């Protein structure tokens, strides 16, 4: 057989093979590992029992309306602040009010801290209505309400006697609405 | 007499056929053989990670952050050229109130050097997942060495910080939600070389 021809043929096939390998392949070795991660967010849930709506009638100077509430943390995250927003409407029975009755109603928030009654906040209703946004009072007053904790809070609303004629307010009524805004504690490293 | 001649001729003829046959088809030759043995043993590309779970955090809130570490190692016989980190997650929306918002857009990942100083990467999980589906998963093997390699036997410790970023807005829709994230680390060989 023609040795030269045979040799040439072999070379050609080797060359073709090499060209195929060089040109079109993406074959590679690889390996994979899996890592799993879970991020679960907590819940911030304040419950106020009973619901806070005052409907004050038949009050006279010197009267005190007393209420008791339970602030319950029903969530999984600690509550740092409970900001209070106040709103009220006055029913002016005789349409004769020259003043805002809210200026004559004083509210005391009484907190039980270390078995002692402490007035954590005291203000007139008209002042409280004006305190919005960053000026809102914090009923927790620097304490933290942890998950599942319950805090008893007592409220007194007093129609302040000022030794002046307050007859303009005879027969009037106040509808007071309070909104509690609970906020989280600062972010921290976990 | 005739018979002997014809017999002889028959014998000759037979020899002739035989020799013709013999002459036509034989390839008798001297030859010798040598055997050459060749072995091609493929190397192994083997990435190992020292943890199957890196983050398992509960009760997180905006502002919280978590630093965790894990180590990747080249346990094979071939150098690893790159390690792509593919990110894929699902969100379980506790109250079904997330709408079009993605919890993953509020969790940010920072890669730190082993002394916790320089931030090498700062992406939200949402961005990382989008990059993965665009085939642009980051190569975490380049973050620590200028050689861009994880040579045989080498270990790299990856330090990460995940932050639930406060954005100054109401993020209450994410209360009680869970984000489950899988990182698929894919190691690749280097270019073919002459051996």
- Which residues, 6 or more positions from A119, have their beta carbon under 8 angstroms from its beta carbon? A108, A109, A110, A111
Chain B hits for A39, CB-CB cut-off 8 Å, are: 55, 57, 60, 103, 107, 162, 164, 178-179, 181
CB A103 within 8 A of CB A82: no
Torsion A69-A70-A74-A75 (CA) sign: positive
Chain B hits for A37, CB-CB cut-off 8 Å, are: 53-56, 180-183
Nearest by Cα to B140 from B161, B117, B165, B160: B160
Q: Helices H, strands E: what count in chain B?
A: 2, 8
B52 to chain A: nearest residue by CA? Answer: A35
Contact A77/B at CB under 8 A: yes
**What pLDDT score does A7 carry?**
55
Q: Which domain holds residue B106?
A: 47-189
On whether residue B92 sits in a domain, the answer given is yes
pLDDT at B115 over 90: no
How many structural domains is chain B composed of? 1
**Chain A residues 109-168 with CB within 8 Å of chain B:** none
**What pLDDT score does A22 carry?**
45
- Which residues, 6 or more positions from B93, have their beta carbon under 8 angstroms from its beta carbon? B103, B177
Tokens of A27: 């074959």
pLDDT at A115 over 90: no
On whether residue B116 sits in a domain, the answer given is yes
pLDDT at B13 over 70: no
Query: What ranges do the domains of chain A cover?
Result: 46-184
The listed range with the strongest mean pLDDT (A147-156, B15-24, B142-151) is A147-156
Nearest CB to B46; choose among A31, A186, A187: A31
Tokens of A8: 């040439």
On whether residue B107 sits in a domain, the answer given is yes
Three-state secondary-structure class, residue B131 = helix
Q: Among A151-165, B56-70, B140-154, which is the least confidently predicted range?
A: B140-154
User: Quick check: A35 and B57 CB within 8 A?
Assistant: no
Chain B hits for A184, CB-CB cut-off 8 Å, are: 61-63
Any idea what the Cα angle at residue A30 is, between residues A24 and A31, rounded to 5°? Answer: 160
Q: Cis link prior to A50 (omega < 30° from 0)?
A: yes
Q: Cα separation of A139 and A121, whole Å?
A: 7
Label residue A69 by pLDDT band (50, 70, 90).
Answer: confident
| Phi and psi at residue A36, to the nearest 5° | -100, 145
Q: Helices H, strands E: what count in chain A?
A: 2, 9
Q: Cα separation of A136 and A121, whole Å?
A: 11
Chain B hits for A134, CB-CB cut-off 8 Å, are: none
User: Quick check: A76 and B54 CB within 8 A?
Assistant: no
Distances (CA, A) of B143 to A1, B84, B182: 63, 11, 20
Nearest CB to B182; choose among A34, A77, A189: A34
Q: Rounded to a whole number, what is the distance in angstroms from the first to the last CA of chain A?
A: 82
User: Per-residue pLDDT tens for A79-92?
Assistant: 999 999 999 999 89
- Which residues, 6 or more positions from B36, have their beta carbon under 8 angstroms from its beta carbon? none
Nearest by Cα to A130 from A168, A86, A173, A92: A86
Could you tell me which CATH number the domain at A46-184 has?
2.60.120
**What pLDDT score does A102 carry?**
93
**What pLDDT score does B117 carry?**
55
Chain B hits for A74, CB-CB cut-off 8 Å, are: none
pLDDT at A21 over 60: no
On whether residue B77 sits in a domain, the answer given is yes
**What pLDDT score does A19 carry?**
43
Q: Cα separation of B157 and B54, whole Å?
A: 13
Mean per-residue pLDDT, B141-156:
75
CB B183 within 8 A of CB B83: no
Q: What is the DSSP string of B171-187?
A: -GGGTT-EEEEEEEEEE
**What pLDDT score does B126 carry?**
96
User: Quick check: B176 and A39 CB within 8 A?
Assistant: no
Alpha carbons within 13 angstroms on the beta-carbon side of residue A64 total 8
On whether residue B145 sits in a domain, the answer given is yes
**What pLDDT score does A142 carry?**
85
From A83's Cα to the closest Cα of chain B, the distance in A is 16
More confident call, B194 vs B20: B194
Q: Outline where B45-175 has alpha helix (H).
A: 125-133
Chain B hits for A76, CB-CB cut-off 8 Å, are: 59
More confident call, A116 vs A1: A116
Q: Cα separation of B28 and A189, whole Å?
A: 89
Among B43, B89, B92, B175, the residue to mutate for chain A (most A Cβ within 10 A): B175
Nearest CB to A190; choose among B64, B76, B184: B64
**What pLDDT score does A23 carry?**
44
Q: What is the ipTM of this complex?
A: 0.77
User: Quick check: B43 and A29 CB within 8 A?
Assistant: yes
**What pLDDT score does B22 carry?**
47
Please report the number of interchain residue pairs, chain A to chain B, with beta-carbon separation below 8 angstroms: 138
Label residue B93 by pLDDT band (50, 70, 90).
Answer: very high
Three-state secondary-structure class, residue B58 = strand
**What pLDDT score does A16 carry?**
44
Q: Are strands A105-113 and A116-124 parallel, antiparallel or unpaired?
A: antiparallel
Mean per-residue pLDDT, B2-8:
64
Chain B hits for A40, CB-CB cut-off 8 Å, are: 57-60, 177-179
Contact A13/B at CB under 8 A: no
CB A182 within 8 A of CB A143: no
* Helix (H) or strand (E) run with residue A150 in it: strand A150-159
pLDDT at A180 over 80: yes
- Which residues, 6 or more positions from B92, have their beta carbon under 8 angstroms from its beta carbon? B177, B178, B179, B180
User: Quick check: A184 and B67 CB within 8 A?
Assistant: no
On whether residue B17 sits in a domain, the answer given is no
Label residue B104 by pLDDT band (50, 70, 90).
Answer: very high
């Amino acid at each position: 057989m023609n040795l030269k021809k045979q040799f040439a043929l072999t070379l050609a096939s080797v060359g073709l093979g090499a060209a195929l390998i060089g040109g079109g392949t993406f074959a590679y070795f690889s390996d994979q590992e899996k890592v799993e991660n879970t991020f679960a967010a907590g819940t911030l849930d304040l419950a106020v029992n009973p619901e806070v709506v005052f409907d004050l009638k038949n009050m006279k100077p010197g009267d005190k309306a007393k209420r008791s509430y339970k602030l319950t943390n029903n969530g999984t995250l600690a509550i740092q602040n409970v900001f209070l927003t106040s709103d009220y409407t006055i029913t002016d029975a005789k349409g004769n009010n020259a003043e805002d009755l809210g200026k004559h109603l004083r509210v005391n928030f009484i907190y039980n801290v270390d078995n002692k009654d402490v007035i954590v906040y005291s203000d007139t209703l008209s002042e409280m209505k004006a305190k919005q946004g960053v000026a809102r009072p914090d009923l927790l007053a620097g304490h933290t309400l942890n998950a599942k904790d319950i805090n008893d809070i007592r409220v007194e609303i007093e129609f302040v006697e000022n030794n002046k004629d307050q007859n303009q307010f005879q027969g009037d009524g106040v509808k007071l609405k309070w909104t509690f805004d609970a906020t989280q504690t600062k972010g921290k490293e976990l | 007499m005739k018979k002997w001649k014809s017999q002889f001729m028959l014998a000759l003829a037979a020899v002739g056929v035989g020799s013709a046959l013999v002459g036509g088809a034989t390839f008798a030759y001297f030859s010798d053989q040598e055997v050459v043995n060749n072995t091609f043993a493929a190397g192994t590309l083997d990435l190992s990670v020292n943890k199957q779970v890196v983050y398992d955090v509960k009760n997180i809130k905006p502002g919280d952050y978590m630093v965790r570490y894990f180590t990747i190692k080249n346990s094979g016989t071939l150098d690893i050229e790159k390690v792509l980190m593919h990110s894929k997650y699902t969100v379980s929306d506790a109250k079904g109130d997330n709408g079009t918002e993605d919890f993953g857009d509020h969790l940010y990942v920072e890669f730190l050097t082993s002394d916790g100083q320089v931030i090498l990467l700062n992406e939200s999980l949402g961005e990382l997942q989008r990059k993965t589906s665009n085939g642009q998963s980051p190569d975490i093997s380049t973050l620590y060495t200028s050689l861009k390699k994880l040579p045989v036997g080498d270990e790299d410790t990856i330090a990460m910080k995940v932050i639930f970023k406060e954005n100054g807005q109401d993020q209450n829709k994410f209360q009680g939600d869970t984000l489950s994230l899988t990182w698929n680390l894919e190691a690749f060989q280097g270019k073919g070389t002459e051996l």
